[in-house]
Amino acid sequence: MSAAGRAPCGLPRIGLGTAVQGPRPDPVRAAVLRAIQLGYRHFDTAAHYATEAPIGDAAAEAVRTGAVASRGELFITSKVWCADAHPDRVLPALRRTLSNLQMEYVDLYMVHWPVTMKAGRFTAPFTPEDFEPFDMRAVWEAMEECHRLGLAKAIGVCNFSCKKLETLLSFATIPPVVNQVEINPVWQQHKLREFCREKGIQLCAYSPLGAKGTHWGSDSVMDSCVLHEIAKSKGKTVAQVCLRWVYEQGDCLIVKSFDEGRMKENLDIVGWELTEEERQRISKIPQRKINQGRRYVSELGPYKSLEELWDGEIQYK
């Protein structure tokens, strides 16, 4: 993992994601423990994933067995869910997260979506009546308090557009360190990357392979003819080409596979690079946002269309 390095903000460039379909504590714990042994140090979870507890168990076991010298060698990210995106619920939510993790702090705590739901709404399907206006300023002030108390070493956001980031930066006392968003060769985020680079916000890519196999994912990344041709010519897998492309953008990335062979493969993206011609070919892949967030759009909610949720930045270009 040391070869992959860290971003300037301290975030390890490659992390293991733990969003799974349904409760799977034993497989998650085993996968995280094996990932630590393989060299992963960044683990991405969220209250909504219900994987905090097995990550905490794996981290504690890794320290006990000497796989890592201390918890300080690990970088743990979690996220406050929309049902807790209320000013008075953010800090209690983080305390529950820390209890689940059996830890005194998280390295990074993020707002999962720029969305507020009624308290208690943790599982889909969501109804139009579940959504409430998102009080960005008040929620962010609560996030800043988490940081001041030392419970979150850094704070950030997920799924924020340029416009929403601009609004946040207009009043934030502590600016977000990271914006975790969908990034892959089919959704390259040029505008957002330029904005975040200018503002000193690190981009972290989720679904760098297109989330194939999930209820909202797509085969469009892994089935890309361009990526297959490049992978064949380089003697790499399509996944490695995708991850290397994200890596070369300067982004951090979250990979998600509990298969040991793939976990090793996903780390093997350093020590080689794409050619300029290959980068140009990838840059011309037609763009389409995969995770559009349709379940957060409602005629009765604050976002009545995808255009409003993404501030027009979902346009295919």
Q: Would you give per-residue pLDDT tens digits along the chain (317 residues)?
A: 445 789 888 899 999 999 987 657 789 999 999 999 999 999 999 999 999 999 999 999 999 999 999 999 999 999 999 999 999 999 999 999 999 999 999 999 999 999 999 998 888 888 989 999 999 999 999 999 999 999 999 999 999 999 999 999 999 999 999 999 999 999 999 999 999 999 999 999 999 999 777 776 788 999 999 999 999 999 999 999 999 999 999 999 999 999 999 999 999 999 999 999 999 999 999 999 999 999 999 888 899 999 999 999 976 44
N-terminal to C-terminal alpha carbon distance within the chain:
35
Can you give the pLDDT at residue 120? 85
Question: In angstroms, how far is CA 80 from the centroid of its own chain?
Answer: 12
- Report the binding-site residues for substrate: 112
Can you give the pLDDT at residue 165? 98
Can you give the pLDDT at residue 22? 63
Can you give the pLDDT at residue 219? 87
Question: In angstroms, how far is CA 16 from the centroid of its own chain?
Answer: 10
Can you give the pLDDT at residue 317? 41
Q: Is 312 left (phi over 0), alpha (psi -120 to 50) or beta?
A: left
Can you give the pLDDT at residue 316? 46
- Burial readout 168-197 (b: 16 or more C-beta within 10 A, e: otherwise): beeebeeebbbbbbbbbbbbbbeebbebbe
What are the CA-CA distances from residue 265 to residues 55, 254, 259 (Å)? Answer: 22, 14, 10
Tokens of 31: 């996968």
CB-based contacts of 40: which residues, under 8 Å, 6+ apart? Answer: 1, 14, 15, 16, 263, 267
Radius of gyration of the chain from its Cα atoms, rounded to whole angstroms: 19
Q: Which one-letter DSSP state was computed for residue 235?
A: T
> Which active-site residues does the annotation give?
49
Can you give the pLDDT at residue 315? 61
Count the helices and strands in the chain (H runs, E runs): 11, 10
Short-list 12, 33, 24, 6, CA closest to 255: 12
Q: Which domains does the chain have, with CATH numbers?
A: 9-310 (3.20.20.100)
Angle between helices 52-65 and 90-101 (to 10 degrees): 40
Cis peptide bond prior to 25, omega within 30° of 0: no
Tokens of 282: 């990838």
Strand positions, DSSP E, the chain: 14-17, 42-44, 75-80, 108-111, 116-117, 131-132, 155-158, 178-182, 202-206, 252-255
